[in-house]
Amino acid sequence: SEVKKIAVIAGDGIGPEVVAEALKVLKKTEELFGYAFETEQALFGGIAIDERGTPLPEDTLDICRSADAVLLGAVGGPKWDNNPKELRPETGLLGIRKALGLFSNLRPAVVFDCLKDASTLKPEVLEGTDLMVVRELTGGIYFGDKLRRQGEFGEEAVDTCVYNVTEVERIVRQAFEIAGKRRNKLASVDKANVLETSRLWREVVNRIAPEYPQVELEHVLVDNCAMQLLRRPSSFDVIVTENMFGDILSDEAAMLTGSIGMLASASLGEGSYGLYEPVHGSAPDIAGQGLANPIATILSLALMFRMTFGYEAAAAAIEAAVAEVLDAGHRTSDIAVDKSKAISTTEMGDLIVAAIRKA
């Protein structure tokens, strides 16, 4: 079959550790399903700052653009935390999303039955939770003008939040489409009681809603949503929201699943091209110790198979392998109730690889 090109960006901290496990899974699916993948590694983030003087080297972007999809670990760490903006790993992350036109970030949060005890919430509250955060990724306060200036009371800082109608329309349409293929429920989350960008957001949502009469729409203010996610998580299907609210709510949603080490994501534009990365960061507190949970990255690879390549059988096989390994009781320490029985990053990766079968 056709060779698929994947740009691989390991990044910093636990990034290389979790990406290595996903690459084992990739190799196994090649053997099992007869796919042909060509991977190319690219420098990005803190390591790129150290080696090339910029978090997002031009040739890294070229490698990403010439690939069919990108697999990304994570970037950032204390070493670069006091750097000026252009020499920060996070600036590279925003840059790559913008440069590749990835305005839509899908972050599914599914509670595995056997992991209900890994969450800090009560099992009966988590029962049946299966939601998808659709996060706008290339607009809002992340990308608005920023400045430092002298104000009346000394130095002050400004971050500007801007959204135009086109940006809101395209993400909201994607969210309605996704809801239509799931359980036909959409929660649009904003702060329309205070923010002008949120009032524009809500107008656009209400204008598009009649095109999707089968989708039940609710508007939820973001503070209330943060609370409802803990009170009635299983009642949510698709949540669509702006960039920063989506960032925050998806980390909160991660804890429903037991750990942020479980949460995968897909960043998409208009076409099938995509960048796939775990929701978590570089976790400097556990980096280099074999403690990282690789499941978020492995499930991100499954999303790549499904959403960019249309390899549904392999995507499902990876997800089934993850479920099987968890059902058998294997846990990395972040999801282990008894931490003394926890297994390492590579052990988890190996178990999942061994459990992948062709249906």
Interface contacts to ligand NAD, rule CB under 6 A: 14, 18, 74-77, 90, 93, 259-261, 277, 280-286, 292-293, 296, 334
What whole-number distance in Å separates Cα of residue 335 and Cα of residue 277? 19
Task: Say if residues 248 and 169 touch (Cβ distance below 8 Å).
Answer: no
The tokens for 158 are 């400004």
Sign of the alpha-carbon dihedral angle for 95, 98, 100, 103: positive
Which lies closer to ligand IPM via its Cβ, residue 263 or residue 348? 263
88 is in an annotated binding site: yes
Give the C-alpha distances (Å, rounded to integers) separating 229 from 14, 218, 223, 261, 327. 28, 14, 10, 19, 25
Which lies closer to ligand NAD via its Cβ, residue 205 or residue 294? 294
Closest approach of ligand IPM to the CB of residue 252, in Å: 12
Which lies closer to ligand IPM via its Cβ, residue 22 or residue 321? 22
79 is in an annotated binding site: yes
334 binds ligand IPM (CB under 6 A): no
78 is in an annotated binding site: yes
- Catalytic option among 59, 117, 223, 327: 223
201 is in an annotated binding site: no
Sign of the alpha-carbon dihedral angle for 196, 166, 179, 297: negative
Closest approach of ligand IPM to the CB of residue 23, in Å: 21
Closest approach of ligand NAD to the CB of residue 43, in Å: 14
Nearest in space to 315 (alpha carbons), one of 7, 25, 2, 19: 25
- Rule CB under 6 A: which of 165-204 touch ligand IPM? none
What whole-number distance in Å separates Cα of residue 331 and Cα of residue 308? 29
Q: Which residue has the tokens 């949503």?
A: 225
200 is in an annotated binding site: no
* Residue 286 contacts which entry, ligand NAD, ligand IPM, Mn ion, none (Cβ below 5-8 A, type-dependent): ligand NAD
Residue type at 200? L
247 binds ligand IPM (CB under 6 A): yes
Q: Which of 93, 225, 229, 353 binds ligand IPM (CB under 6 A)?
A: 93
Which lies closer to Mn ion via its Cβ, residue 28 or residue 135? 135
What whole-number distance in Å separates Cα of residue 312 and Cα of residue 318? 10
Residue type at 159? D
Active site residues: 142, 191, 223, 247, 251
